[in-house]
């Protein structure tokens, strides 16, 4: 069993035990299956990750154009997810929330991998953007979400709290001071941009502000979330995973639209019986088989 725990792992446990079992207990992976909803997220994250302090708008826009062109996304996908229209709002957001804080003494960390421990098990997570003021011990955590609607879901709150937990342990922040030292935000660069007039700076800025959501949590929220994470770890150790039922312990919701096992007749009977399909080109493999397969593709 995979010993590492992450926000996505905790989320999978809450949403679909069948997917959780396949991914984290059986450690199966699916090769040769892509989802456009995931591709647009990866492209935007790459654009944002490579944005630097003081970089001009023209530079960011030009780089974004190239990354989008090189991504292989189809015309239909780009019409559905107009990534280039997100750049004006992102640049305004970057200047307001990132550059201004850096000017005020915060250090910038992008795609910051953090590690920790909970209930004796390792934690891991990649923060999209983390700002840390070493002198005042103040923290700003930002996570990019590329959904079409800006929302502060429970899963996203849990993800932010997990980051807070790891950073607070790393820097020795007393628990009673955590809510005042940490500020957590989600930014939705693609929400509402389809019909946006990107030449209207006022509208671009207004939408970027609207799409920036702050999660203001209490110490009780923090304790409750960490308790739920601990319960998942305990459940892993005590549950008879061979008894997981493919139908009763599975769940159909929006996350099926980017679940690699969706529609597979053997691994996801619920979605298969609902008429969803699994691509013939896709293959379910163990992690070791996947490593060998990927190595063979690189030599071609």
In a domain? residue 264 = yes
In a domain? residue 45 = no
In a domain? residue 162 = no
In a domain? residue 284 = yes
In a domain? residue 72 = no
For residue 126, give the nearest of 140, 143, 139 by alpha carbon.
143
In a domain? residue 18 = yes
| Domain limits for position 262 | 7-33+244-298
Q: Identify whether the C-beta of residue 122 lies closer than 8 Å to the C-beta of residue 73.
A: no
| Alpha-carbon span 12 to 17, nearest angstrom | 7
Per-residue pLDDT of the chain (300 residues; tens, 9 = 90+): 678 999 999 999 999 999 999 999 999 999 999 888 889 999 999 999 999 999 999 999 999 999 999 999 999 999 999 999 999 999 999 999 999 999 999 999 999 899 999 999 999 999 999 999 999 999 999 999 999 999 999 999 999 999 999 999 999 999 999 999 999 999 999 999 999 999 999 999 999 999 999 999 999 999 999 999 999 999 999 999 999 999 999 999 888 888 999 999 999 999 999 999 999 999 999 999 999 999 888 776
Question: Is the overall model pTM greater than 0.85, yes or no?
Answer: yes
The per-residue pLDDT for range 162-210, each reduced to its tens digit, is 999 999 999 999 999 999 999 999 999 999 999 999 999 999 999 999 9
In a domain? residue 252 = yes
Q: How many domains does the chain have?
A: 1
In a domain? residue 61 = no
């Amino acid at each position: 069993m995979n010993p590492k725990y992450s926000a996505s792992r905790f989320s999978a446990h809450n949403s679909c035990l069948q997917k959780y079992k396949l991914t984290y207990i059986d450690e199966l992976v699916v090769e040769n299956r892509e989802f456009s909803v995931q591709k647009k997220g990866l492209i935007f994250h790459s654009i944002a990750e490579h944005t630097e302090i003081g970089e001009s708008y023209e530079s960011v826009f030009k780089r974004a154009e190239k990354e989008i062109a090189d991504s292989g996304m189809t015309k239909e996908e780009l019409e559905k997810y107009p990534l280039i229209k997100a750049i004006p709002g992102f640049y305004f957001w970057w200047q307001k929330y990132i550059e201004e804080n850096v000017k005020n003494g915060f250090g910038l960390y992008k795609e910051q991998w953090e590690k920790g421990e909970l209930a004796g098990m390792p934690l891991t997570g990649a923060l999209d953007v983390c700002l840390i003021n070493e002198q005042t011990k103040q923290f700003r955590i930002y996570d990019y979400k590329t959904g079409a609607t800006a929302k502060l879901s429970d899963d996203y709150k849990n993800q932010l709290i997990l980051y807070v937990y790891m950073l607070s342990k790393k820097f020795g922040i007393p628990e009673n001071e955590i809510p005042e030292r940490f500020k957590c935000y989600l930014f939705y660069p693609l929400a509402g941009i389809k019909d946006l007039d990107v030449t209207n700076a006022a509208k671009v800025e207004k939408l970027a502000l609207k799409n920036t959501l702050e999660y203001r949590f209490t110490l009780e929220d923090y304790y409750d979330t960490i308790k739920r994470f601990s319960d998942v770890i305990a459940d892993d150790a005590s549950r008879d995973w061979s008894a997981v039922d493919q139908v009763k312990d599975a769940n159909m919701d929006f996350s099926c639209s980017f679940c690699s096992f969706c529609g597979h007749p053997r691994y996801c009977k619920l979605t298969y019986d609902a008429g969803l399909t699994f691509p013939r080109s896709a293959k379910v493999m163990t992690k070791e088989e996947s490593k060998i397969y990927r190595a063979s593709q690189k030599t071609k």
